[in-house]
Amino acid sequence: MTLLSCAIGSHLFAQNKSHRNYTTNSLGGKSITIDGKFDDPAWDAIEWADDFTQRTPIDGAAPSQKTAFKVLYDTKYIYFAIKAFDSSPDSIVKRMSRRDGFEGDFVEVNIDSYHDKTNAFSFTVSVSGVIGDEAISNNGRNWDSNWDPIWWTKTSIDEEGWNAEIRIPLSQLRFAKSDNMTWGLQVTRRLFRKEERSYWQYIPKDSPGWVFLFGELHGLQGIKPQKQLEIAPYVLGRNDRAPKEDGNPYKTGSEYSANVGVDGKIGITSDITFDFTVNPDFGQVEADPSQLNLSTFEIYLRERRPFFIEGRNTLSFDGTKSNAGGSFSRDNLIYTRRIGKKPSYEPDVEDGQYLDQPKVVPIIGAYKLTGKNKKGFAFGVMQNFTAETKAEIDTKGVKSNQIVEPFTSYLAARATQDINEGNSVIGAAFTATNRNITSDNLNFLHKNAYSGGVDFLHQWDDRSYYLQGNIMVSHIEGSTESITSTQESGRHFFQRPDANYVSVDTTATQMTGTGGYLKFGRGGGSPWQYEVGTTWRSPNFEINDIGFLNHSDLIDQWARVGFQTLQPVGVFRNINADLREYMYFDYGGNNTYFGIHGRLVLEFNNFWEFATGGSAQIKRLDNFMLRGGPAFLKPSKEEVWYNIESDDRKKISFNFGNEFAFTHNNAGFNADAWVGVNYRPINAIELQLSPFISYNRDNIQYVTTEQNNAGSNYILSRLEQHTFGLTIRGNLIIRPNLSLQYYAQPFASRGDYHDFKRVETPKASNYSDRFHQFSSDEITYNNTSEQYTVINQDGNYTFDKPDFDVIDFNSNLVLRWEYIPGCTFFAVWSQGRGDIIEPFREFSFSEIVSNIADSPSEDVFIMKLTYRFRK
């Protein structure tokens, strides 16, 4: 194959204007038993559809194995019979996994029941009977696997291949009322041993979308939208165990509790669904991975709670949609990890006092109202209420309470309107966070916070080209303390002495800012794709009461060009490459960053993959490094990385890689190494080990800011940091509806600080002139107080020893049994260890293991039963 194949692929896309059609029939009073055998007489009344087309690895070629399907329906269900012919039935791969595992040979049905050419529902079944389901949105760019409808399927294997018989309730789909309707339809087959994908409706690799190119399902007559009604109560028992502490009434060693709650889903009309939860519990959710953050910026944590994950694409409003990525790419008006988080305030206690501090803020209840009509108008509204939360303090047996989080309402709303069959979309979003602050110790919180935005997308030339953007506004209100705290926070730093375009207003009780982006690009119809755009965040922009903002005071321009092969080329099954450019400015007109980043991914015909990339970071003016001090000019930096992966279909597979970063002027060096091993001794068991190790040397790591007669002294140091982590996962899939899953991550990091220095001229052209290195006569260390003292003619000052030793261990063991479709039983054991017995001596693996083993553990045991009533 040559690059001529890419041109052929583009030609195939140009010729792919017509959609395939399949005409179904009603059962007409007959019945179908879901057993995977197709022996019910009803199936004889309809023809098979076949003639699938390969998309991977050879785009547009005939598949190596034939696939055929039939579709029938009645007033309550739609039925699919899918025949996956196989000339070597003994080679069919029957892997087990949990729901949405997508392992082994499988077939998949995508249904665009609205026929809006933007959204669809996906139903997947593997030959081993494992099901998967996803809500597809944004024309196939988003696949939400947390959507878990109720449906039935059975599979079987015979001498011709394997069969899948599927029954999907119409109540699990959304569609408008019509006497004779048309749905979008796609049927997919994965032939696992060849990693081959074939499709009923051929959609070339370089297509600019997915759903809008589906084939069509005709013949649906006399069916009506089903009003969905599902109520799922739960009961939960919990036992918390931790080391007993003499005299502390809150650490008795063991505590038992019970809880009840309910989730519900009500179809108000055929177009509108109401989801609610009362007293929700998220006890079985996997722990967040351990991370050590030495920057001013908040770490983004992935949402793991089902209520907030399902349907999140309906409510999401990205600050910037950038295919190039960037520090701004996670910004969003709605970041649900703010809801039910750790309390914002923790009381100080004195000797003889004991504190019972809640770990999370209870969510009293929440609801979501979502819908879309046949005219392309979609909307979502979500509101959550969290309880006023109190910490209890015991003072020699006398108990008192202090509020640590006020009663809070979180509201998020989103609406979009499709125009011209989804080729253009306009939308709007609004959020409101309202707190009932009744205690002075919480005056640092905003009383009210609002944000909103409007966005648009316009596509043309079969959606190959696009213009997209948004405008956002934020507004916060509160005490002077809260607004001042926000202005001085790590996202804003209005107190920067060299930023003459911002200043701290200690009398302000509100703050308003703006943000947005605009981009143009080509997303399909060619192996070459590109994008250029700009984004901005005004200094006053603030959305972190319910959203996520990396930092404000940003104007940036980015560009990306990418290339992908559409056919195998020589020894390569696939080639992907991209080149990205970024240029950042602040609102003072200062160029704060300029860099070139690149990536190359080569997949070989033996299914191994080699990926490599790097960056040249040419300009690095950091407004945030000195925590409110002047901007500091960091030396230029180069990064390079690679990763090698073996064929992950094998019983044993692995990956390994390294990343290196070199900072000019010998100002720093980073080295990371990682290994991943995946072992599947049998189809029902999977084990994963992923260790990583990191070394970081930063000669200009920020330490502290100290005051003397000369003013602010910004102290830097050489940081030598060693980090080790290991992610362990184990899955035992006893049956598709019964699984045992284990997750654990030990994590350790040690940081030693040397060669302290004071910032002098932070933007000097000569690197050595940017700071003054302390001599041994200028700085001393006291072993008893563990403090450094700087001797200075303008006045001495001291600061604590910044060295750190961190160890952490989190694990979950979860038994999940879906004893009836939609009804589950969970048994969970969660353990955490984090207290260090003693500092590391040499940071060895044996010492890490010993410290973890000797650390006290906190164990949580949970049993939870849910039952879903449905109509």
Q: What is the pLDDT, as a whole number, of residue 294?
A: 65
Q: Is the pLDDT of residue 331 over 60?
A: yes
Closest by Cα among 550, 543, 549 to 473: 543
Chain center to CA of 853: 31
Rounded Cα–Cα distance for residues 223 and 316 (Å): 32
- Torsion angle (degrees, nearest 10) of CA 580, 585, 589, 592: -100
Rounded Cα–Cα distance for residues 175 and 182 (Å): 10
Strands 804-820 and 823-833: antiparallel
Q: Burial level of 799, CB count in 10 A (0-12/13-18/19+)?
A: middle
Rounded Cα–Cα distance for residues 307 and 265 (Å): 11
Question: Is residue 140 classed as helix, strand or coil in its secondary structure?
Answer: helix
Q: Is the pLDDT of residue 243 over 60?
A: yes
Closest by Cα among 585, 587, 540, 532 to 560: 532
Strands 161-169 and 528-537: unpaired
Q: Which two tokens stand for residue 806?
A: 């961190």
- Of the pLDDT bands very low, low, confident and very high (cuts 50, 70, 90), residue 283 is low
- 841, amino acid identity: R
- Of the pLDDT bands very low, low, confident and very high (cuts 50, 70, 90), residue 775 is very high
Q: Is the pLDDT of residue 15 over 50?
A: no
Q: What is the pLDDT, as a whole number, of residue 4?
A: 37
Q: What is the pLDDT, as a whole number, of residue 98?
A: 84
Q: Comparing 485 with 148, which gets the higher pLDDT?
A: 485
Tally the residues of the chain.
871
Q: What is the pLDDT, as a whole number, of residue 12?
A: 42
pLDDT tens profile 735-769: 989 999 999 999 999 999 999 999 999 999 999 99
pLDDT tens profile 440-453: 999 999 999 999 99
> What residue spans of 74-230 are helical by DSSP H?
none
Q: Which two tokens stand for residue 207?
A: 């297509």
Q: Is the pLDDT of residue 400 over 60?
A: yes
Q: What is the pLDDT, as a whole number, of residue 166?
A: 97
Helix (H) / strand (E) element for 309: namely helix 306-309
In what order do the strands lie in the sheet containing 787-790?
779-782, 787-790, 797-800
Which of the 8 DSSP states describes residue 49? B
Q: Is the pLDDT of residue 289 over 70?
A: no
Rounded Cα–Cα distance for residues 806 and 291 (Å): 10
- Of the pLDDT bands very low, low, confident and very high (cuts 50, 70, 90), residue 839 is low
Q: Burial level of 482, CB count in 10 A (0-12/13-18/19+)?
A: buried
- 495, amino acid identity: Q
Q: Which two tokens stand for residue 264?
A: 């519900």
With vertex at residue 716, the alpha carbon angle to CA 490 and CA 593, rounded to the nearest 5 degrees, is 55
Mean pLDDT of 299-327: 81
Closest by Cα among 583, 508, 585 to 542: 508
Rounded Cα–Cα distance for residues 561 and 530 (Å): 4
Q: Which two tokens stand for residue 632?
A: 């500091």
Tell me how crowded residue 481 is: count the other CB atoms within 10 A of its CB. 15
- Of the pLDDT bands very low, low, confident and very high (cuts 50, 70, 90), residue 265 is confident
Q: What is the mean pLDDT of the chain?
A: 91
Q: Which two tokens stand for residue 815?
A: 């038994």
In what order do the strands lie in the sheet containing 77-85?
25-26, 67-73, 77-85, 161-169, 152-158
- Of the pLDDT bands very low, low, confident and very high (cuts 50, 70, 90), residue 28 is confident
pLDDT tens profile 184-210: 999 999 999 999 999 999 999 999 989
Q: Is the pLDDT of residue 302 over 80?
A: no
Q: What is the pLDDT, as a whole number, of residue 655?
A: 97
Q: Is the pLDDT of residue 619 over 90?
A: yes
Say if residues 236 and 862 touch (Cβ distance below 8 Å). Answer: yes
Tell me how crowded residue 559 is: count the other CB atoms within 10 A of its CB. 17
pLDDT tens profile 685-737: 999 999 999 999 999 999 999 999 889 999 999 999 999 999 999 999 999 89
- Of the pLDDT bands very low, low, confident and very high (cuts 50, 70, 90), residue 16 is very low
Rounded Cα–Cα distance for residues 592 and 498 (Å): 14
pLDDT tens profile 638-669: 999 999 999 999 999 999 999 999 999 999 99
Q: Which two tokens stand for residue 48?
A: 């098979």
Q: What is the pLDDT, as a whole number, of residue 847?
A: 78
CB within 8 Å of 583: residues ≥ 6 apart: 556, 557, 558, 591, 593, 594
Strands 67-73 and 25-26: parallel
Q: What is the pLDDT, as a whole number, of residue 33?
A: 95
Question: What b/e readout covers 6-28, taking b as 16+ CB neighbours within 10 angstroms?
Answer: bebbbebbeebeeebebebbbbe
Q: Is the pLDDT of residue 148 over 90?
A: no
Least confident of 8-22, 371-385, 481-495: 8-22
- Of the pLDDT bands very low, low, confident and very high (cuts 50, 70, 90), residue 6 is very low
Mean pLDDT of 542-569: 94
Chain center to CA of 133: 18
- Sequential DSSP letters for 240-255: EE----TT-TT--SEE
Q: Which residue has the tokens 């970024």?
A: 582
Say if residues 674 and 690 touch (Cβ distance below 8 Å). Answer: yes
> What residue spans of 493-650 are helical by DSSP H?
none
Q: Is the pLDDT of residue 44 over 90?
A: yes
Q: What is the pLDDT, as a whole number, of residue 494?
A: 97
Closest by Cα among 867, 869, 870, 871 to 824: 867
Q: What is the pLDDT, as a whole number, of residue 795?
A: 87
Q: What is the pLDDT, as a whole number, of residue 437?
A: 96
Q: Which residue has the tokens 């080990």?
A: 689
Cα separation values, 759 from 704, 769, 802, 803, Å = 11, 9, 17, 20
Say if residues 299 and 335 touch (Cβ distance below 8 Å). Answer: no
